[in-house]
Structure 1
Amino acid sequence: MILLSILILGFLGMCYTYWNTFRPILREVQVDLSRGKYDIDGLRVLHLSDMHMERISVTPEKMFEHIATTKPDMIVLTGDYLDQAENLPKWKLYMEQLANLKPRYGMFAVLGNHDYRIQDKVQELIEIMESFDCKVLFNESVQIQHNQQTINIIGIDDYHTRRSNIQQSFKNVKEGATIVITHDPNIILHMDKEYRIDYLMAGHLHGGQFNIPYAFMIYPMGALPRNKMYKGLLDYKGTRLYISEGLGQSALNVRFNSRPEITLHKL
């Protein structure tokens, strides 16, 4: 009887963790950046990360239901869209829904470690994204004008696969505010004070995904999570950063103490 009870509880637990993957949350984050000298007040940034086409339970239509009324000024995507080239057509369906929002400053993206697994098909992934006016950044920056101020959007390539180049990323930064988008947030551990950052957005860590105590000690994902910095709005040595829990799942299509996330940053 005890064994049967354990088996039933285990089965119900697995059902719950799988059900959780179908329950996206739109998390609105109010971020006070008034310490900076540049006026980016009122900027609305929609942020999606780690969508993992191979293990995503949220359909493109369901995703759009959650974002339809967000009215973002821009959309940022912080990597890990897929790791199998056969899912490129599926990824295109999500891009179509995002493009429907028509953000006034456009869409900006970086790639993650899983994206590079498709090797020679990476260029096709980039072409799909850019066909929807999404600028994919590789250790480079672009500028937008908001409130008559320059805002630098800095895209640092994936740190996990050793493709990041911080110096190159900041090479053409203009006078103005700085927003960094990158996949692996552990890159912040290697950014000296000379690289001024007003805000950094990343993903990679999935909020733990199967978030049980001390899990990161068993499967280390870098110094940040080992110091309990693996999701949400954080402060690292005076720099504000946000780590998304991601919309899809990696390895197993389950979530515990974590839900698929879409984030609206109100700066």
Structure 2
Amino acid sequence: MTHPIARAVTALAAFGGACFGWGLIEAHLYTVRRVEVEALEPGSDPVRVLHISDLHLSAHQTRKLDFVRALTRLKPDLVINTGDNISSAAAIAPLLEAMSPLRGVPGVFVFGSNDYHAPVFKSPLRYLIHGRSHSGRPKPADLPWESLRDGFAALGWVDLTERRATLNVAGTRIAFRGTDDAHHGRDDYSQVAGPADPDAGLNVGVTHAPYLKLLDAMTGDGMDLIFAGHTHGGQVCVPGYGALITNCDIDPARVKGLSTHDSGGRRSHLHVSGGLGTSPFAPYRFANRPEVTLLTLWPRPA
């Protein structure tokens, strides 16, 4: 008769293998999350915002490219891209082709570290122990991020890397400010800091990684809505509980989706995208499907 401990170990190994196998499948179950939030001035027309983040695209990922190509069917009024689009230089051309149906839709973007540098292997234990990844050797290879930036600009989208911009979207004047990636210390909020635009119908902050220092600064300056990505929604979650880690200093309860942030006596709506991809070195998700989000912004009650 098999020893009870051996049976338990065998059962645990089988369960773990099944979970890992499902995680590999779930990483390709691309989903559109739909969210509504009252953020506009009373009497405004609704604004449909497509939030795209963390594709981590490899050129061979044709199913992901097909999903991105079909996003035009959502008929967004605005596209917000919060970075980590690619995993290699070869992914830039197919990504831009897949996004080309969105050409002419107003858009803004910032980059994450994986737009600048190719991914490198990092032990998953670092995430479990530290709650976030840490840079180290080997040094990642540079990516031709300028080509990606120029390609997005050719779609008509505005680079918000330490910049402000104003767009008229579906009848609403929206004032944006953005930063570079805080996860690798590239951000400099001082370049865009200052009071919200009083003439705008909506003030929006955009960044890749939702570090508290940026959420505090943007909220304190009066941003109505903040967009970020980076977290992958925790990537591997516990059913019925949620994320265990966030890969930054935001709390796990706000690792993805819509929440609020308070700072300086003010409150902002915060939307963190769970993202569409994974690192090629960790190509799995669990209880956390890859996603883009279509946010419908409605006027606040009069």
| Contact 2:196/2:221 (8 A) holds in 1 | no
Q: Given residue 112 of structure 1, which amino acid in structure 2 is its aligned partner?
A: G
Secondary structure at the residue paired with 1:257? coil
* Length-normalised TM-score, structure 1: 0.84
CA deviation vs aligned residue, 1:234-263 (integer Å, no higher than 9, x gap) = 011121010000000134001011010011
Aligned to 1:88: 89
Find 2:223's aligned residue among 190, 197, 214: 197
Secondary structure of the corresponding residue to residue 44 of structure 1: strand
Aligned residue among 226, 244, 249 for 1:223 = 249
1:194 Cα deviation after fit:
4.7
Alpha-carbon spacing, 1:120–1:99, altered in 2? closer, same or farther (3 Å)? closer
Superposed, 1:58-77 pairs within 5 Å as: 58-65=63-70, 67-77=71-81
Find the partner of 2:29 among 23, 35, 49: 23
User: Over residues 46-70 of structure 1, what are the superposed CA-to-partner deviations in whole Å (9 max), with x where a residue is unaligned?
Assistant: 11101112496842113333x2421
Give the Cα separation in 2 of the matches to 1:101 and 1:120: 24
Query: Residues 194 and 39 (structure 1 numbering): CA distance in 2 closer, same or farther, change over 3 Å?
Result: farther
Bigger Rg over Cα: 2
What's the counterpart of residue 164 of structure 1? 187
1:247 to 276, 279, 282: 276
Q: Does 1:111 align with 2:111?
A: yes
Match of 2:14 in 1: 8
Q: CA deviation at 1:110?
A: 0.3
Structure 2 match to 1:259: 289
CA deviation map 1:117-158 (0-9, x unaligned): 253622233223323333222111111124654211222211
Distance 1:32 1:160, change over 3 A: same
Q: Give per-residue Cα distances to partners, 1:162-186, cap 9 Å, x unaligned.
A: 2222231246974312112210111
- SS of the residue 1:135 aligns to: strand
Indicate how the Cα distance of structure 1 residues 39 and 178 shifts in structure 2: closer, same or farther if over 3 A, else same: farther
**Do the aligned partners of 1:58 and 1:247 also contact (CA within 8 Å) in 2?**
no
What is the letter of the counterpart of residue 99 of structure 1? S
Structure 1 contact 57–248 (Cα < 8 Å) conserved: no
**SS of corresponding position for 2:85:** coil
Q: Where in structure 2 are there 5+ consecutive unaligned residues? A: 118-140, 298-302
Q: Is 1:182 paired with 2:207? A: yes
Write the distance in 1 (CA, Å) between the matches of 2:192 and 2:86: 24
Aligned counterparts of 1:247 and 1:193: Cα–Cα separation in 2: 26
Structure 1 pair 7/148, CA: closer, same or farther in 2 (3 Å)? closer
How large is the Cα RMSD of the aligned pairs?
2.7
Q: What is the Cα deviation at residue 91 of structure 1? A: 2.9
* Distance across 1 between alignment mates of 2:110 and 2:12: 44
Q: Deviations over 1:27-83 (max 9, x none)?
A: 11111115xx57654111111101112496842113333x24210112111011124
| Alpha carbons 1:99, 1:132 under 8 Å: kept | yes
Letter aligned with residue 156 of structure 2: D
Partner of 1:210: 236
Gaps of 5+ in 1: none
Q: How far apart, CA to CA, are the structure 1 residues paired with 2:14 and 2:62? A: 24
Letter in structure 1 aligned against 2:168: Q
Amino acid corresponding to residue 94 of structure 1 in structure 2: L
- Tell me if structure 2 keeps the 8 A contact 1:75–1:103: no
Distance in 1 separating the partners of 2:170 and 2:154: 28
Secondary structure at the aligned position of 2:237 is classed as coil
User: Quick check: 1:197–1:239 contact (8 Å CA) kept in 2?
Assistant: yes
SS of corresponding position for 1:159: coil
- Do the aligned partners of residues 247 and 166 (structure 1) sit closer, same or farther apart at CA in structure 2, a change above 3 Å counting? same
Give 2:56's aligned residue: 52
Alpha-carbon distance between aligned partners in 1 of 2:268 and 2:194, rounded to the nearest angstrom: 20
Tell me the secondary structure at the aligned position of residue 222 of structure 1. coil
Cα pair 1:29 1:263 within 8 Å, conserved: yes
Percent identical = 24
Task: Tell me the distance in 1 between the aligned counterparts of 2:35 and 2:66.
Answer: 23
